[in-house]
Structure 1
Amino acid sequence: MKEYEIYSLRCLDRMNPKGIDQTPCFSWKLKSTQKDTYQKYYSIKVWRENEILWDSGNVESPCTDHILYTGPALQSGTTYQWQLTSVDSHGHRAVSEKAEITTGILEKSFWKAAWVQPVRERKPVRDVTDSGAILSGAVHSLEYPEAILDAPVYMRKEFVADKKVKKAILYMTALGIYVCEIDGHKFSNLLAPEYTAYAKHVEYQTYNITKLLEKIGPHAIGIILADGWYTGKIGLMGIGEQYGKENAVIFQMEIQYEDGTAETICSDETVKWHTGGYVYADLFVGEYLREEGVPQKFSAPGFDDAGWEYVEKKEYGYETLCAQSIDPICCVKEIKPKLLYTPKGEAVLDAGENICGFTKFATYTEPGVEIGMEHSEILDQDGNFMQNIMGQNKNQKDRIVPAGAWTLYEPRFTFHGFRYVKITGLKEVKAEDFTICVLTSRQDKTGSFRCSDERLNQLQDNIYRSQQGNMVCIPTDCPQRERAGWTGDMGVYAPTAVFNMDMQSFLCRWLSDMRIEQHVDGQIPQVVPDIDSNKYVGGNTGDPHISSAGWGDACVLVPYAIYRAYGNTDILKENYQMMKAWMDYVEAKAGVDLLGWGKLFHFGDWLIPSIVASTHKPIETALRTKEEMALGYMVYVADCMKKIAELLGKTKDSLHYRMLCQRGKDVFCREYVTEDGCMRQSLQGLYVMALSQNMLTEKQRQGAVKRLADLIHENGDSLDTGFLSVPFLLDVLCENGEAKTAYRVLFQQKRPGWFYALQFGATTIWENWAAILPEGTRTNSSYNHFAFGCVGDFIYRRIGGLQMEEAGYKKVRINPDYSCGLKWAKTEYDSVQGRISVHWKKEEDTIYLEVLLPPNVTGIVHVKEKQIEIGNGRYSWTIEQQI
C-alpha cells in the first residue's frame, strides 16, 4: 500500500454515473499508512475530450465529499472525465485515476420526441377490492391469468445512418417496462425505467449506442413494452391500472456524424406495433411466452411489418421527465441451484437462500409442451412445495412454450421473491441447466460484522440479504407479496440500512417521491409511491386521515439517518419543508392537550407477538397501543426536528420543537404512567418507548425499568415488543443497568426472538416472529421483511463497539461491550471518510483491541476507565482484566 491513496471516486454519490441532469458534486475516500493524517488541500480537474473545462485550483480543506462543480455549463449527452489530486498533512501527494460523468438532457426544450402507444382495447379490470377477502385467503390467483392480462407489445422503427457515426446517444423511457434493441442487439437496463411516483416523476435512461451504429446504412430500433408498475397488478391488493389505462414509450436518438452534421431520430407516428410471443408479462403474476409467436429479427432493418399497426401519439408532455438518479437494477449474483424431489414427487430447485430475482434456463425441451417455473419461499412441514403468498395475482409463475428442441429462456418483465422453484413440463430436470439471478438496485456494500458466535453471523447475513432483496427501485416491505414502499419499515430500519450499504442516492430518490406524494395538509401516505388501491387496505372508509405515527414520521427519521451516516446537510435542506408540513399536521391533530393525535387511527406498536398469538388479529396491536405510541413518537420526532432545525440555523423552529418535545413528555407521564413508573398497560413496548425518550421522572424511570425487566423475565427472557418499539429495546436495557437481560433477549432461541428463525433454516428476516410455529407448521407470512433486522444497528454499536460521535463518522467512539458473552468481534465500515475497523478478542483475562481509522477521522477509545483520544491510523491495546 502507498503512504497516501485516493479511492472510491463518486459523482452525485454514484460511480461513473450515466445520464445525469444535475450539477455534479464530487466525493472520494482516503487511505494512509501514517497516523494523524488529514487532507490539507485538494484540486479537481474536469475534461471534455482533451480540453480542461474546469480546474478548482488548490483548495485548502479536509472535506472529501459533495464538492460542487462550479465550472462552465455542461452540455447534454456529453461524456466528461474528472481527476482528483489530494495532498495530506505530511506532504504526501496522491493522484486518483480518472472517472467519468455522462450528462443526460439538461433542458426540457431538448425533447423533440413524442409519447406513443398502441391503439387497442384492453381487457377490463375486474380485480377484487375487498381487502378482508384477500387477506383471509378467500381470494386466490387465477390458474390461467391470460383471461385477465394483456400481452406486451412489440414496437419498431427503421432509420438510416448514411454516414460514419461519431457519437450516438439514445434517451428513452416508458410508462410501463421496456426492453430495447437495435439491429438485434439488446442493451437496455433491467426493468427500465423502474418504479417512481409516475404521476409526477418518470425517469429516462441514457444509452451510448455509438457502437451499434458503426455500419453505414439502414438500421432499426425495436422495443418490447410490458405493463410493469404502470398498468400491472401491483401492491397488496394486486389491482391493475393504478397509473393509467395503457402503456406508452418515448425515445430520442441524437446522432453526430464524423463530417460534423447531426440528426435526431424520434418516436413518432411512424412507429409500428404488434403483439407476438408474449401472452402476458406481469411483475407479480409472471411471464407467459409462446416462442412460436416471437417475431424473429423484428429489430433488424428489412423486417416485414406490413401487418403491423401504427401507434398513436399522446400529449403526456415532458414535465415529469428527469434523468435516472440511481444506479440501475442489476444481477449481483448468479446461483446454481440444487435439485430435490419432494415427497409428492415434484421437481423443485433450491437456491439455498431466500432471494429476490428470477430463474433462467438453457436446456433441451419438447416443442409445444409448456414449461412452468413457480416460485415460493418455503417448503411445507413435510417437505413439499408450498405457495405461501396469498391474494390475487400473486402467482410468481413463469410459463414458456418452446418452439424448438433447444430453449434458452430468461425473464425480462418480472421478478420474484423466493428460494424454491417448482419445475413442470420437462421430462428430465437437470439442476445444471438452471441459473438463479439475484436482483437489486446496485449499492456498494459498506458494512460488515463477524464474531465468535455463528448464530449472530448468520443473523447478520440474513439482515443483509433481506436488505438487498428489498432494494429494487424503492425500499420495499417484501419482494413477493406487495413490493411496496411502506414508510414505517424504512423508518425503523434506516440506521441499519446506511451501515450495510451506501444508500445515499437510493434513499434520496425515494424521498423525492415522498415529497411528491405528500398531501396538501402535510400527511405522508403509508406507502411511497402511493397508489389508489391502497385505500382498500383500510376498508375504503373515506376517512381523510390516511397517515400513521411511526409511518409518516419516516419523512423525518430517514433524512436524519442519512445525514447522520454521511454528514451532508443538503439532505435535511431538501426535505425540511416536507418534515415541517408533516409536523404541522401532527400538531394540528394533537390539539392543545396533545391527546387528539392518539385518538386517530395508527398502526401503533404493530405486531406485538403476545397479542397476535392470543387474538390472531394484528389490528388489535394497533387499537391497544396507538395512543401511547402516537404520543411517544411525537416526542421522539420532535426531538429530531429540534436537532435538524439547529443544524440548519432555524433557531425559532428549534425552540418550538424543544418545547413540543417537553410538553409531550409531560402529557405522557400524566396520562399513561403512575407515580411509581407503571404504565396503564403492561406491555413491554410501552415501557421501552417511555424509557427510550427519557419521558419519566427518576422515580418513574426506576419503577419502569424494573417492570420492563419483570415482563421480559415473565415471558421467558423473550421480547414482546412490536414494530415501533423493537429498535429501542436492547439499548434501553443496556442503558438502564439490564445489559444481561438485553443479551439474554438477543441470544435466546425461543420464539419470539431473532435466533428462533435460524433453527428453521431462515436466510432472511421474517415479517412475523411466528412465521413458522414451533411444531413446524408454516404460515402464509412473508419470509423476507427487513424491518426486524433493525437490531443490526445495536449489534454494530454495542457489540462491535463502533459508535458515531459526529455526523459522517468524522469522529467516532470505540467502546465495545466485552461482557456481551462473545470471544471476539470484528466490525468494519467504509464511511464517507474511508474504512473504519474495530476488532477485539478475549483470551482468558486479557482483551486485545485493534482500531483502524482513515484520514480526517478522530476517535475516542474506551480503555478501562480511560477515554483516549486518537487521530487516524492503526492502533492496538492490550487490556488486562481482573477476574
Structure 2
Amino acid sequence: MPAERPDLINHSWTSQWIGLPGDPTPSPENLWLMFRRVFSIRSRPDRVLARIAGDTKYWLYVDGELVVFEGGLKRGPRPGASWYDTVDLTACLGEGDHTLALLLWHFGKDGFSHVSSGKGALLCELTVDGSPVPVIDTPWKVLRHPAYGSTGSPHPNFRLPESNLRYDARVDPGAWTAPGFDDAHWPAAVHLGPAGIDPWGELVERPIPLWRRSDWTPYERLERQELPDGQVLHIGVLPHNAQVTPCLEVEGPAGEIIDIRTDNYLGGSEPNVRAEYITKDGFQRHESPGWMNGHAVHYRVPRNLSVRNLAFRESGYDSSIVGGFACDDEELNTLWQKASRTLTVNLRDNFFDCPDRERAQWWGDVVLQIPQGFYAMDRRFDALARKAIDDLFNWRQPDGTLSSPVPGNFTDELPQQMLASVGHYGLWTYYLHSGDRDALSSTAEAVQAYLSLWKVDERGILEHRPGGWAWSDWGDNQDMRILESAWYILACRASARIARVLGDEDKARAHQAQADRLTETCRREFWDGAGFRSIEHTERPYDDRAQALACLAGMVRPSQYPAIARALQEQAWSSPYMEKYVLEALLKMGYIDQALERMKQRYAEMIASPITTLWEGWALNTARFGGGTYNHAWSGGPLELLSRCIAGVGPTEPGWKRFSVRPALGHLRQVDVVVPTEPDPIRLGLRKDQVGLEMKLTVPAGREAVVSHQTTTSRVCVNDRPDRSLSPETERTSTLPSGVWTIREFS
C-alpha cells in the first residue's frame, strides 16, 4: 500500500457507533434514520468540533437550523474503510442548551462509486476546546423516518448506489429537528461498537470541502402543460445543467402523488434517479434531498393540487470557475464555456464520467478532467484531484494491477487508461500544476509495480495486455498495438522525470532507456512512409488516434510531420475522449489553423446546441458512444488546449513557480486568458495586427515568466524598451519577474 497520509488517518475516538434497535444486518436498502440528542455546554467554548461518520449521507441540524447539507462521502477511501467529516460548530454552539438532530441516508447497495458497509449507523463525536463535551445531556435517540421510502419500478440503473426517493407527507414526523420536539416515544440508540470496528472499518478524514449550496432559488422560468390523464406538467427551467435538489410548495387534499424528475432522467439511455411526493392535507413544503441533474425539473402534478411555489437548490463541489478564455472566434469561446460547465457538473464525491447514468470515477476521464480544472477552477479543486489519485492507488490489486472505476468493487483493468493515469497526462500533469511532491513519493512504488506488469517480446515490441477490458476509445478503426505502445512510452518518460524529482537517478535512467528503446522499435516496425500502422492494421485506414499518440509520445520525427498532419486531415475516427490528443498533436507539430478548424468542425453540433454541456460522443443517446450522455467531461479537452497551447501559458516548474508564455494564435487576432493560480491569477492579453503581436502579461508575486518570441528579428520591446538580450543566435525568450508587462513583437 502507498504511504499513509497522517493528516487523513484517525487516531482516537471516544464515541461509539450507534444505530436503530432491532435493525437487521444487513440494513435494508434506502434506509432513513432520525437521530436526536439534547445537551448543555457549561461554559463558553473557544472551539467546538464534530467528527461525523455514517454510511452513507447525513443532514445535520443544530437547534433546528440546517448546518451541513448532505455530509459524508460515498464509501471507499480504501477497501474496508469509511470516511468521516470534521465540522466546525463553534459559530452554532455556545454556552447553554442545544439540540443536535441528524438525518441519515443509508444507500444499502453498491454502485460504481460506492461500496456499502451493509449497515446504517452513526458515529458522532463532539469536542469542546479539544476535549469531549462537558455536558449534562440525554443519550442519542433514533427512529426510522416514517415518510421516506422507495418508489416502484423503474429503479435507477445498476451503476448507481442511490435509490429513487418517495416521501409520504401523510406520515411526516413534524419538526423533529427543532428544540422542544417531544421525542419521549423514541427509543435510545443502541451501541454497536467502537471506531474501527467492522463493517465500517478504519476511518479516514474527508480530504475535500463540504458542498457549496444555494438557498431555494426560483427557476429561470416555469412552463405549464396540460396532460390528457388529468395531470399538469410543470417544467422548471434551470440556468444551466446543474446538480439540484427539487423543491415545492403545494396545497390540496392528501394522498396525491407528484412525480419529480429532470429532463435528463434517461440520460445515457437508462433510468437515473427520480422522486415522488405524496401529499398530506392542506399547505405543505418539501425538498427532495437526493440530487439530480439536467436543464429542467419536471413536476407531474395532479390537477386538483394548487401549486404555490416551485424552486430548486443547487449544490456541488466547492470550487468555482475563476479561469477564463476569450478570443475573436465566438464558437471557440462557447466551446470553452461549455467545457467548464461540463467539468463543474461532473465534480462531487469524486470525478464523474457523467452525473446521471454512472457518477463513476473512470480514470481515463480523470486524466482529461484534471488539467481542465487547473485552467478553469480555483485551487479548492486540487483536493479532489489528490483524492482521485489516492483512490486509484489505494484500490490497487495485490499483484500491482490498477483498475477503475474506483472506489468500487472492481478488479477490471483498463490497460490504456491505467497507463495514461500513471504517465505524462496523469500523475506528472497533476504534479507540474500543483507542486504536490507527496503525490509522487507516495505512489512511486505502485507505479513501478504496475509498469513491471507490461512485457516486450523478443523483437522489442510491447506485448498486448488485455486486462479486464482492452478498451481504447469508442468507435471503430482502433490501432491497438500503436496506442498501447504510445501510452507505455509516455508512462515511462513520466516515470523517468518523477524518479529525478525524487532523487533516484538509476530509476530515471532505466525508465528513460526503456522509453527510448520502445520508441526506436516503433519507428522501425510501424512507420510505412505515410503514417504509423501496425501489421494488424495493414488493410485498414490510418487511425487518427494512433497517429496523434505516436506524435505525442515522440515516435514521429519532425520530417514526418506533414504526413501525420495529412492523415489527421483525412481521418476522423476518434470519439471526444481521444479527440483531445488528436488536436494536441496538430498543435505540437505547428498546424495551428488545421487544429482550430478540426476542433470547430468536430464540435460544431455541440457548440450550436442549446445544451450547456458537452456530450460523451458525437451523437446523443446511442450505444455507439456507450449510451451517449450529454454531459461527459472527457469531451472538454479543448478547454485546456485553448488556454495552454493557443494562448500558450503553461507551467515549467512545479506549482507554476515558473511558467512559459508561447502563444500560437493561428488565424486568431485577439486572445485573453486568465489562469487561476493563487493567491493571484496569471493574466495574458494578446493582440495581433499588421505591425506584429502585443502581449499584456501579469506575472503574480513569487512567479517568473519565460516569454518565447515568434519574431525572427531582434525587434522586441518590453514595457516600451528594446530587449537587447535577443539576437538571431540566442534562444529568443524574455525572462520576466512578477509585475505587469507589455511585450511588443514587431514583424
TM-score bin (small chain): 0.7 to 0.9
Distance 1:440 1:555, change over 3 A: farther
Which amino acid counterpart does residue 186 of structure 1 have in structure 2? L
CA contact (8 A) 1:517 1:528 kept: yes
CA distance in 2, matches of 1:472, 1:824: 35
Which one of 695, 709, 718 corresponds to residue 555 of structure 2? 695
CA distance in 2, matches of 1:508, 1:604: 25
Matched position secondary structure for 2:149 = strand
1:287 maps to what in 2? Answer: 165
CA distance in 2, matches of 1:768, 1:782: 8
Which amino acid counterpart does residue 649 of structure 1 have in structure 2? G
CA distance in 2, matches of 1:204, 1:169: 13
1:116 maps to what in 2? Answer: 18
Aligned residue runs from structure 1 range 398-437, under 5 A: 398-412=275-289, 414-425=290-301, 427=303, 433-437=309-313
The answer as to 2:72 corresponding to 1:192 is yes
Distance 1:276 1:592, change over 3 A: farther
CA contact (8 A) 1:514 1:555 kept: no
Which amino acid counterpart does residue 632 of structure 1 have in structure 2? A
TM-score, length basis structure 1? 0.72
1:450 maps to what in 2? Answer: 326
CA contact (8 A) 1:291 1:403 kept: yes
> How much has 1:488 moved relative to structure 2?
0.9
> How much has 1:844 moved relative to structure 2?
5.3
CA distance in 1, matches of 2:44, 2:583: 66
1:180 maps to what in 2? Answer: 60
Deviates more, 1:276-285 or 1:861-870: 276-285
CA distance in 2, matches of 1:644, 1:757: 38
2:261 maps to what in 1? Answer: 374
Aligned residue runs from structure 1 range 536-615, under 5 A: 546-551=413-418, 553-556=420-423, 557-587=425-455, 593-598=460-465, 600=467, 602-608=469-475, 611=476
CA distance in 2, matches of 1:227, 1:262: 27
CA contact (8 A) 1:833 1:856 kept: no
Matched position secondary structure for 2:173 = coil
CA distance in 1, matches of 2:233, 2:111: 29
CA distance in 2, matches of 1:255, 1:871: 47
1:135 maps to what in 2? Answer: none
Aligned residue runs from structure 1 range 855-874, under 5 A: 855-861=701-707, 862=709, 864-865=711-712, 866-874=732-740
CA distance in 2, matches of 1:431, 1:626: 57
2:143 maps to what in 1? Answer: 273
Deviations 1:658-689 (A, max 9, x none): 11101221332344333554414321111111
The answer as to 2:652 corresponding to 1:805 is yes
2:391 maps to what in 1? Answer: 513
Aligned residue runs from structure 1 range 385-396, under 5 A: 387-391=266-270, 394-396=271-273
CA distance in 2, matches of 1:202, 1:266: 28
Runs (5+) with no aligned partner, structure 2? 152-159, 713-731
Matched position secondary structure for 1:728 = helix
> How much has 1:640 moved relative to structure 2?
0.5
Which one of 618, 625, 638 corresponds to residue 769 of structure 1? 618
The answer as to 2:642 corresponding to 1:795 is yes
CA contact (8 A) 2:422 2:491 kept: no
1:252 maps to what in 2? Answer: 125
1:637 maps to what in 2? Answer: 491
Which amino acid counterpart does residue 565 of structure 1 have in structure 2? H
CA contact (8 A) 2:696 2:742 kept: yes
Distance 1:163 1:285, change over 3 A: same
Aligned residues: 696
Aligned residue runs from structure 1 range 61-100, under 5 A: none
CA contact (8 A) 2:48 2:129 kept: yes
CA contact (8 A) 1:489 1:786 kept: yes
Distance 1:873 1:475, change over 3 A: same
Matched position secondary structure for 2:454 = helix
> How much has 1:475 moved relative to structure 2?
0.8
Name the Cα RMSD after superposition.
3.6
Matched position secondary structure for 1:686 = helix
Which one of 204, 229, 234 corresponds to residue 84 of structure 2? 204
CA contact (8 A) 2:647 2:665 kept: no
Distance 1:603 1:467, change over 3 A: farther
CA contact (8 A) 1:151 1:280 kept: no
Deviations 1:580-639 (A, max 9, x none): 22222234x87984532445565443013xx2xxxxxxxxx6xx4333212210011101
Distance 1:679 1:395, change over 3 A: closer
The answer as to 2:190 corresponding to 1:336 is no
CA distance in 1, matches of 2:367, 2:625: 28
CA contact (8 A) 1:250 1:267 kept: no
CA contact (8 A) 1:810 1:833 kept: no
Which amino acid counterpart does residue 294 of structure 2 have in structure 1? F
CA contact (8 A) 1:235 1:482 kept: yes
Deviations 1:720-761 (A, max 9, x none): 32466433222322333533321220222xxxx123212222
Which amino acid counterpart does residue 399 of structure 1 have in structure 2? E
Matched position secondary structure for 1:756 = helix
CA distance in 2, matches of 1:783, 1:123: 39
Sequence identity (%)? 15
Distance 1:441 1:195, change over 3 A: farther
CA contact (8 A) 1:351 1:419 kept: yes
2:515 maps to what in 1? Answer: 661
CA contact (8 A) 1:273 1:311 kept: no
Aligned residue runs from structure 1 range 726-737, under 5 A: 726-737=579-590
Deviations 1:238-270 (A, max 9, x none): xxx94232211101123469xx996279998x6
> How much has 1:114 moved relative to structure 2?
1.0
CA contact (8 A) 2:260 2:275 kept: yes
Aligned residue runs from structure 1 range 7-22, under 5 A: none
Matched position secondary structure for 1:460 = helix
Matched position secondary structure for 2:663 = coil
1:684 maps to what in 2? Answer: 544
Distance 1:577 1:216, change over 3 A: same
Which amino acid counterpart does residue 11 of structure 2 have in structure 1? K
Distance 1:591 1:150, change over 3 A: farther
> How much has 1:309 moved relative to structure 2?
6.5
